[in-house]
Chains A and B, each alone.
Chain A
Amino acid sequence: MNKVFSDKKAIFLFVFPAFLVFFMIIILPIFFSAYYSTLDWNGIGKATFIGIQNYINLFVNNTDGFVMSIKNSFIVALLSVFVQVPLALILALVIAKGIKWEGLFRTVYFIPVIISTTVIGQLWMKIYQPKYGMLNNILDIVGLDFLKHNWLATPETALGSAFFVIIWQYIGYHMLLLYSGIKAIPTTIYEAAEVDGANNFQKATRITIPLILPMLKVCVTFALVGSLKTFDLIYVLTKGGPIHATEVPTTLMFSTIFLQNKYGYGSSMSIFIILECLVFTIFLQKVFKAETITY
């Protein structure tokens, strides 16, 4: 019997195909990225080894907006963690109480999550369109026409407008995760709390939130790392403009490589993005590690 389950040839045949694809598509390219990031290379001509010069250029006397792009992605990350996740938590708490149309609300809030960001970006470009777009026309109707704006073309409002779309698309995702966490809590705990005379607010803050902390951790991690990796929406909505107002590291990396043909310099950005995601993931693990509560 054991012989059957430790058949070396079978193990190899089972694991090798997946490992080969995984290795070629994920592992190998990272090493190549790291290597390219030490080069001065336009992709066609000869590459020159320049050590860490590309990384120095990212931060010292930088004029292409990389520092700005990091700042923007941090703003989006902070807003996601401190605005989007709390809003989703409130929604989840309210819906999970067992209100009327519970399933309907959950389903409706979740719809934008599954739609392609390309479609969402195109749609919101039309919504933000100054003259014929939905937003300015609604503002007209409700008498708030002084708020009308050329939302995506004004540097001051562009990032906020893009962020609103991110909330709109993903709030249902965080809501669903937290909702499923809440639903997994045994009802007997609440019954006991009710006997003790706890109100809804106390039940939420003393029981629900501490018990869904693992799910909250997942949400915060996704919100943070997801923000650092934002690409599609910004690429579709603004391509990083106007004048880098909505630039994030991924869009800048994309244009540095494919529009300016700076393969080496662009690769140093891509390595920076991996490290950034890694550091924040580990950081969050540490932050949440101390506080695990079970029922």
Chain B
Amino acid sequence: MNVLKIKDDSRSTKHDTNNIKTYSERGILLFIAAIQIYPLLWLIMFSLKSNQEIFGKNPLALPKKLLWENYARALFDGNIARYFINSIIVTVVAVIITGILAAMASYAIARMEWKLSQAMLVVFLLGIMVPMHSTLLPLFIFLKKAHLYNTYAALILPYIGFSLPMAIFILVGFFGTLPKELEESACLDGANIYQVFASIMLPLTKPALATISIFTYLACWNELMFATTFVSEQEFKTLTVGIMGMVGMYATRWGELGAGLVIATVPTVLIYISMSKQVQKSFTTGALKG
């Protein structure tokens, strides 16, 4: 951190000789930041407005009175509360199972000795390239035949399947960086392979598991195509589908719809604010490995 600061200072003194350039550069950066942020602020504003204000003279104005009723109505009349709970159930289960299955498979691939370990890794990695779209119809038919259509499992299973390849890639890479001595000494102490995995290796993979959890969370929470195809009953709909369903009903009531959009985004933004470094890191790790 200190090193960065020192570097900052030396660069900015150099820049002082070139003030106009610095200011115009800063101006452009701020302008782009405004383009990135203003639409989101506008969303929050209209989610707190009444129809008179939204469709009034100045749709860009700040709300006169904060209409929190929009949120209550979206949650309960618009069924967003139900969708929210469903999204949490589907996402949390998918994140946990992905982490466990990926850790187990990656450990066997990276650390145990068997002939096909590299071939197995290649097979999993090929999965990264497969577009979800090309599995849509067969999965739809399969889920219907297996009587899983309109259940949580109809979403959880596909989400795990599509999260595994990247998760395994990251974890195999991570296991490769851990020293072998730990396992060996545990073995000499008489631990079996399951104990070595569960009580020695698994706790060490926490950073990699955090990375995997973040992008599995984002993939599941934001997913639309599977969610709209594999579930048709209100009872199991997740937020993305629920919001798509709200559009027809609330076509002329932007306030409630806006409130729904904000509610669907709050958990993601909270996660981002509380650990933005970790979130950004999980994207760059995923990219470098992929």
Q: What are the residues of chain A within 8 A of B207 when measuring CB–CB?
A: none
Asked if A36 lies at the interface with its beta carbon under 8 angstroms from chain B, I say: yes
B190 vs chain A, min Cβ distance (A) = 10
When the two chains form their complex, are residues B54 and A132 in contact, meaning their CB atoms are under 8 A apart? Answer: yes
When the two chains form their complex, are residues B25 and A274 in contact, meaning their CB atoms are under 8 A apart? Answer: no
Asked if A55 lies at the interface with its beta carbon under 8 angstroms from chain B, I say: no
Main SS at interface, chain A: helix
Asked if A25 lies at the interface with its beta carbon under 8 angstroms from chain B, I say: yes
**Which A residue sits closest to B280, measured CB to CB?**
A176
Contact bitstring B233-261, A, C-beta under 8 A = 1, else 0: 00000011001100100000010011001
Asked if B222 lies at the interface with its beta carbon under 8 angstroms from chain A, I say: yes
When the two chains form their complex, are residues A236 and B224 in contact, meaning their CB atoms are under 8 A apart? Answer: yes
Complex alpha-carbon distance, A25 and B157, angstroms: 7
When the two chains form their complex, are residues B164 and A30 in contact, meaning their CB atoms are under 8 A apart? Answer: no
Complex alpha-carbon distance, A231 and B240, angstroms: 14
Complex alpha-carbon distance, A141 and B38, angstroms: 16
Question: Contacting A133 at CB < 8 Å: which of B59, B197, B222, B261?
Answer: B59
Question: Contacting B197 at CB < 8 Å: which of A14, A231, A281?
Answer: A14
Asked if B92 lies at the interface with its beta carbon under 8 angstroms from chain A, I say: no
Which chain B residues in 172-212 approach chain A with CB under 8 Å? 183-184, 187-188, 192-194, 196-197
Binds B, one of A76-84, A143-151, A155-163, A249-257: A249-257
Asked if A192 lies at the interface with its beta carbon under 8 angstroms from chain B, I say: no
Q: What are the residues of chain A within 8 A of B4 when measuring CB–CB?
A: 98
Question: Contacting A118 at CB < 8 Å: which of B25, B187, B243?
Answer: B243
When the two chains form their complex, are residues A117 and B224 in contact, meaning their CB atoms are under 8 A apart? Answer: yes
Q: What are the residues of chain B within 8 A of A196 when measuring CB–CB?
A: none
Complex alpha-carbon distance, A132 and B224, angstroms: 27
Q: What are the residues of chain B within 8 A of A19 when measuring CB–CB?
A: 105, 120, 124
Asked if B48 lies at the interface with its beta carbon under 8 angstroms from chain A, I say: no
Q: Which of B25, B137, B158, B162 has the most CB of A within 10 A?
A: B137
Main SS at interface, chain B: helix
Q: What are the residues of chain B within 8 A of A235 when measuring CB–CB?
A: 224-225
Asked if A7 lies at the interface with its beta carbon under 8 angstroms from chain B, I say: yes
Asked if A5 lies at the interface with its beta carbon under 8 angstroms from chain B, I say: yes
When the two chains form their complex, are residues A24 and B161 in contact, meaning their CB atoms are under 8 A apart? Answer: yes
**Which A residue sits closest to B38, measured CB to CB?**
A134
Q: What are the residues of chain B within 8 A of A177 when measuring CB–CB?
A: 283-284, 287
Contact bitstring B106-138, A, C-beta under 8 A = 1, else 0: 011101111000001001100101111111111
Complex alpha-carbon distance, A25 and B165, angstroms: 12
The 9 closest A-B pairs by CB, nearest first: A25-B161, A29-B138, A32-B138, A29-B135, A14-B108, A18-B105, A116-B222, A270-B134, A18-B101
Other 16 A-B pairs with CB < 8 A, given A1-B187, A6-B113, A270-B134: A14-B108, A18-B124, A26-B127, A94-B29, A99-B26, A118-B243, A122-B243, A126-B258, A134-B42, A229-B133, A232-B225, A236-B224, A254-B136, A266-B137, A270-B133, A270-B136
